[in-house]
Copies of this chain bind each other. A is one copy, B any other.
Amino acid sequence: MTTGEPSVLALDCMGGDHGPSVVVPGAAIALSRHPGLMFELYGNGPAIEQELARHPALKARSSVHHTDLTIAMDAKPSQALRRGRGSSMWLAIEAVKKGQAQFAVSAGNTGALMALSLMILRAIPGIDRPALAGQWPTISEPSIVLDVGATIGTTARELSDFALMGAAMARAMFGIERPTVGLLNVGTEEIKGNEEVKQAHAWLKQVDLDIDYRGFVEGDQIGQRVVDVVVVEGFAGNIALKTAEGTAKQIATYLKEAMTSSALAKTGALLAKGGFQVLKRRMDPRRVNGGTFLGLNGIVIKSHGGTDAEGFASAIEVGYGMARRDIVEQIKAGVASFHSKLEQITAAEQTAPTGAGAATGQARASN
């Protein structure tokens, strides 16, 4: 990894619902924003070339690497690991591993992308399981929420690591030096929650970190953007994310029914068309496209599978920001420093066994 403006990125052209017909125009938009970029494109050569023909400026700055192998959108992670070698997704990640690209972007299968990224790039020292960090639309700027499903049964140490890693992403994306971080819980009082969030809360308060830790936040506060980064256990985080998506869909259904409930409502809705377009833009998932796996030796961005060129360009932008800020080195240094401070605390607690902050294992609590 080199610091400064990223110069080369690797794209899995076969991922997502639309393949090269979205990825290539998306790359063209990214090039218009960052004219110094070069592109390594992986996938079906003729299909990519056909799209590139419409984007001569991009074509001049791209290398096409043909492969017949594609990871299906419904492939299991285990299948991807066994049979994914040489696929467009694999090759894009490998380009990062080999230093041929500063980051990779794929709109492919999330589980496969996670599994291949972990196998090829490996986790950084001290991290067992990387987190999947997503952008969450809020009433103002998006916030970062992690983990949204990569780690099930996240431990207290992992939750604390996620706070650091999410903050690094917030620095890269929002240019905030000391991002605010909250821990998602079932209440904001210290007695609330399971043992993992209580222990992580104690550590994040106690250890001097380069973040502005704000304590517990609740589910209804995410959309109000009370913090830049929301840390949550992967099972609950995935359910929260999908529940929010489902609720948005549900309200859209209500709205449609309401606006066709009478002739007058229909006329009003027609007049207010511009207003509804404003609403549609605000709820447009392309605005917040680009999740990432944090805790790897390299940057791999996951784009929504159903996005369009504009959305894919947003995902590239996320990777660009993270590569420019050299987020991998930042996370490595942060995690190493945090873990060494944690060891000191644990050692101190062992000599004073009645001290605060005890067990870190899985435990039950009847809040």
- Residues of A with Cβ closer than 8 Å to B? 76, 129, 137-139, 149, 151-153, 155, 184, 186, 189, 191, 193-194, 218-224, 232-236, 238-251, 253-255, 257-262, 264-276, 278-279, 282-283, 362-367
Q: How far is the CA of A52 from the CA of B270 in the complex (A)?
A: 48
| Smallest CB gap from A243: residue in B | B219
Question: Ordered nearest first, which 5 A-B pairs have the shortest CB separation?
Answer: A268-B272, A265-B275, A219-B242, A268-B271, A220-B246
A259 and B243 contact, CB distance less than 8 A: no
Known: A152-B367, A241-B219, A244-B244. A275 touches B261 (CB 8 A): yes
User: What is the CA–CA distance of A275 and B272 in the complex, to the nearest angstrom?
Assistant: 12
Given contacts A219-B240, A247-B247, A262-B274, 5 further A-B contacts (CB under 8 A): A129-B366, A186-B239, A239-B239, A362-B362, A362-B364
Number of copies: 2
A341 to B184 alpha-carbon distance, docked (Å): 38
What is the bound-complex CA distance between A262 and B92, given in angstroms? 46
Q: Are B272 and A264 in contact (CB under 8 A)?
A: yes
Give the chain B neighbours of A260 by CB distance below 8 A. 275
Residues in B with CB closer than 8 Å to A246 are: 219-224, 244
Cβ-closest chain B residue relative to A270: B268
List 27 A-B residue pairs with CB atoms under 8 Å apart, sorted by A's residue number.
Answer: A138-B250, A139-B250, A139-B254, A149-B367, A152-B186, A152-B194, A153-B364, A155-B364, A186-B238, A194-B235, A219-B239, A219-B241, A220-B243, A220-B245, A221-B246, A233-B235, A239-B239, A240-B243, A244-B244, A248-B251, A258-B282, A260-B275, A265-B272, A267-B272, A268-B269, A268-B273, A269-B275
Is A222 a contact partner of B234 (Cβ separation < 8 A)?
no
Known A149-B186, A186-B234; contact A245-B219, beta-carbon cutoff 8 A: yes
Contact B186 A235 (CB under 8 A): yes
Q: How far is the CA of A367 from the CA of B240 in the complex (A)?
A: 17
Residues in B whose Cβ lies below 8 Å from that of A194: 152-153, 235
Q: What's the Cα separation between A238 and B188 when bound, in Å?
A: 13
Q: How far is it, in angstroms, between the C-alpha of A366 and the C-alpha of B151 when the chains are bound?
A: 6
The closest CB in chain B to the CB of A282 belongs to B254
Q: Which residue of B has the minimal Cβ distance to A267?
A: B271
Question: By CB atoms of chain B within 10 A, which of A242, A264, A273 has the most?
Answer: A242
The interface residues of chain B lying within 8 Å CB-to-CB of A139 are 250, 253-254
